[in-house]
Each structure stands twice: as C-alpha cells, then as structure tokens.
A and B are shown apart, each in its own frame.
Chain A
Amino acid sequence: MALNTDFVGRTYPPSGPYAVTAADIAAFAAAVGATDPVHTDLETARKAGYADVVAPPTFLVRFEQDSTRAYVADPEAGVDYARVVHGEQSFTHHRPVVAGDQVTATTTVEQIRQAGGHAMVTVRTELADAAGAPVCTARSTIVVRGGE
C-alpha cells in the first residue's frame, strides 16, 4: 500500500458540529496543567471579556484529529497508520474558543513531500463556528515512515 501523492489539494466534507462544553474544557485544562481560571471560572472569564469559559490553546486537537481521520482512514489515500508518527502541529486562532461554541472542521491535504525515505503529509483543518465564521486554522504534519 503506497502513499497516494495525488491527494494533495483534496478537501474532505466537514465533520461535526462538535459541542465545546465547560466540562470538556475543564478536563483538558487539568490534564495539561492550564491553571488560568478563565478555563474554569465563568465569572473570571466574563470579567476578561469572554462570553463563557475559554478553551486552552491546543484544546481543538480533539476535533481536528477526528476530522483528519477521514483522510488517514481513506483506503485510497494509502496511509499505513502503523507507520505514522506525529511530526508537527500548529494552531492559529482567529478568535478564542469558548464553552457553547459549535465547531465544524474541514480538512484539506495541503502538502505531501518525501524526505529521507519517509513521507511527510501536512493536513490543514479549518475550524469554524455555527455561523460559519473562522475560529482556528490547525495544521498537522504526519510522518509516514518508509522501509519494509
């Protein structure tokens, strides 16, 4: 099963909507040591100008990874998941994510390049709110290790 390089530029149908809840934000914040009370205390969040408690900077990974699964699990894409390592990750926020948001995620295969016998695939996921306004652009590069 070889990696299909024809997939560059392919966009998968949106996944979600995913509900952002205060409980999920609190659990994620606790797990990554995010101690800012804007994650857990509604009053603090409102005083700081937010409509509700705020998600930590990497919180959207759950929705992003669920969305990128459409590509990774696509049999025609030829990604051997047993050989996949997470190489790079970034989040560019267009606005803060708060509890109550309903987020959809749309993944596009942005780049496939070969390096040192490995293939590096960058997927871009655009996360948007219920009104369709941009929330975050997430990029993930997976390394598909070569060899037998």
Chain B
Amino acid sequence: MSALSFDSVAVGDVVGPEIVPVTRATLVAYAAASGDQNPIHQDEAFARSVGLPDVIAHGMWTMGASSSVVARWAGDAGRVVAFGTRFTKPVVVPVEGAQIEVSATVKALDPDTRRATLDVTTSAGPDKVLGRCQAVVHLA
C-alpha cells in the first residue's frame, strides 16, 4: 500500500462499510496485547454476575478496529494522526461471535496541512456503538 494522495480525496467520500468479525478469541488476544484483562471481556459468568447480558468487547478494541478501517483507506497507518470517540453502547460477544460494521465519511479537507477529517460510524446490529467518532488523516 502507499499513502493516499490529498488530491484524490473529496469531501463526502465514503470509506467502507467494512464488516469486522469479533470472537472471544479476538478479545483474549486484545486483552493480552493491550494489558486490559478485565474479566467482563472474557468470562461470561463474571460478565453476567455484574449485570451484563454476556461478554462485551473492550471499548478500546472497537475503537482500535475502527481505526484499522480508516488506516486501510489512508494507505499508510502512520498517517492517522488523531482518533477519538465516545463509547455509547457495548458490543456484546456471545460464544458464537459477533461483528461490527465500520464506515466513514470525509467531512473536511485542509489543503494547507493536507489533512482530512472523517466522521466514523461503527455499529453492532442496529446499535451505534461509538459516538462522535472522528479521525484525522495526514494525506500525501
């Protein structure tokens, strides 16, 4: 891949949607990679004992997976210079697994800095799971 050129991007361009699967194994791997070993993300019995419907994904996994979709569009992951979100709903991950759908829209382009600002939408089934999710990409 190579970095996306600023001149090839227009406001309103749409990224995705991409479907990203998530399983309990994904969450175990994310827990190890991130250091967040909270059992609500791995242990169904524990998750239910604290009132959750089932194991839920780390909000930070959902954020990270969403940023990966933007990075693929950018063509060079090192050019994602900012990424921020609210966590609005959990992604429930039953034993058979789940999936999220990630898309983004180019909202603004700054020719001086060659930066694009994107609004990112991430859902699980009918629920938007991230709120006010925004990425800034430094285009080539």
Please indicate whether A and B come from the same complex rather than being unrelated chains.
Answer: yes
Out of B35, B64, B72, B78, which one reaches A48, CB within 8 Å? B78
B1-40 interface code vs A (CB 8 A; 1 in, 0 out): 1110000000000000000100000100110111110000
Whether the pair A31, B35 counts as a contact (CB closer than 8 A) is no
Q: B77 — nearest CB in chain A belongs to which residue?
A: A36
Q: Are B68 and A35 in contact (CB under 8 A)?
A: yes
A31-B26, A58-B83 given; A48·B76 CB < 8 A = yes
User: Which residues of B from 69 to 119 have beta carbons under 8 Å from A?
Assistant: 70-72, 76-78, 80-87
Bound CA–CA A54/B3 (angstroms): 14
Contacting pair B33 A58 (CB below 8 A): no
Which residue of chain A is the closest to B71 with respect to CB atoms?
Answer: A36
Q: Contacts A34-B71, A36-B1, A58-B64 known; A92 to B33 CB distance under 8 Å?
A: no
Report if A30 contacts B (CB, 8 A): yes
Q: A27-B33, A32-B65, A86-B59 are in contact. Are A57 and B86 (CB under 8 A)?
A: no
**Docked-complex contact B72 and A66, CB < 8 angstroms:** no
Interface size on A, residues (CB 8 A): 35
- The listed residue with most A CB atoms (<10 A of its CB), out of B59, B60, B71, B78, is B78
The reply on A88 being an interface residue by CB < 8 A is: yes
Query: DSSP majority for the A interface?
Result: mixed
Query: Hey, what's the 0/1 contact readout for A24-59 against B, CB within 8 Å counting as 1?
Result: 100111111111111100000000101000101110
State the CA gap A39–B77 with chains docked (Å).
8
Bound-state Cα–Cα, A93 to B63, Å:
16
Chain B residues with a Cβ closer than 8 Å to the other chain, count: 35
Whether a CB of chain B sits under 8 angstroms from the CB of A61 is yes
Q: Is A96 close to B, CB under 8 A?
A: yes
Task: Given the known inter-chain contacts A66-B35, A86-B60, A88-B87, please indicate yes or no for A31 contacting B29, CB distance below 8 A.
Answer: yes
Which residues of the other chain, A, contact B80 by a CB distance below 8 angstroms?
57, 93
Is residue B46 contacting chain A, with contact meaning CB distance below 8 A? no
Q: Which residues of A contact B87 (CB under 8 A)?
A: 85-89
Q: Are B72 and A31 in contact (CB under 8 A)?
A: no
A61 to B34 alpha-carbon distance, docked (Å): 7
- Indicate if the CB atoms of B68 and A56 lie closer than 8 Å: yes
> A12 at interface (Cβ–Cβ under 8 A)?
no
B122: interface (CB < 8 Å): no
Beta-carbon contact of A32 and B84 below 8 Å: no
Q: Return A47 CB to nearest CB of chain B, in Å.
A: 9
Q: How far is the CA of A56 from the CA of B78 in the complex (A)?
A: 7
A48 to B71, CA, bound (A): 14
The distance in angstroms between the C-alpha atoms of A36 and B71, with both chains bound, is 8
For B135, the closest partner residue in chain A by CB is A57
Task: Say if the beta carbon of A7 comes within 8 Å of chain B.
Answer: no
